[in-house]
Amino acid sequence: MSKLHCKVGDLAITVRAEVPQNLGSIVHIIKPLGLQDWSEFGQVHMWWVECLPNSPYRLHYLHSDGSFTKQRQGPVPDLLLRPIVPPEGFNEVTDWLTLNCDPPADIARGVALYCAYQRALPGGAEK
């Protein structure tokens, strides 16, 4: 088995998605679910994740009958996620104040730029 991208407790971003609405979702990794079958990917390591508490975003799941559900929590394959790692020495209690920024808006802009950059790489987001 290849090395996992994420671990329990990480904040992660969805860098690939079968359902476009999930691309760029920021989630908290709650617990491992182990190897499970997932769509055309076959056996992959799965995480139980949840959307951030005050986030308006929900995970979108497509069912075999063509219907969708939106959920705050659910399974996501590790291969679709990348951890969000703050810069070395970043103190999240004080640094947002000294940066004089709006964390949710700035994170959303950063996520959009990161996803666009990843899609522009040869081979797309999965490099």
pLDDT greater than 60 at residue 91: yes
Mean pLDDT of 38-48: 89
Residue 127 lies in a domain: no
Supply the pLDDT for residue 81.
94
Mean pLDDT of 94-103: 54
What is the domain count for the chain? 1
pLDDT greater than 50 at residue 127: no
Residue 125 lies in a domain: no
Residue 126 lies in a domain: no
Q: Considering the chain, what is the average pLDDT of its residues?
A: 79
pLDDT greater than 70 at residue 9: yes
Q: Is the dihedral of CA 38, 43, 44, 46 positive or negative?
A: positive
pTM (2 decimals)? 0.67
Q: How confident is the model at residue 38 (pLDDT cuts 50, 70, 90)?
A: confident
The distance from CA 56 to its chain's CA centroid, rounded to whole angstroms, is: 15
Residue 2 lies in a domain: no
Question: Alpha-carbon distance 55 to 96, whole Å?
Answer: 18
Lowest mean pLDDT among 5-14, 21-30, 54-63: 54-63
Which helix (H) or strand (E) segment holds residue 13: the answer is: strand 11-14
- In one-letter notation, the amino acid at residue 114 is Y
Residue 4 lies in a domain: no
The domain in which residue 110 lies consists of 11-120
The distance from CA 126 to its chain's CA centroid, rounded to whole angstroms, is: 13
**DSSP secondary structure, 76-127, as one string:** EEGGGEEE--PPTT--TTTHHHHHT--HHHHHHHHHHHHHHHHHHSTTTT--
Query: Token digits for 11?
Result: 């904040």
Mean pLDDT of 17-36: 90
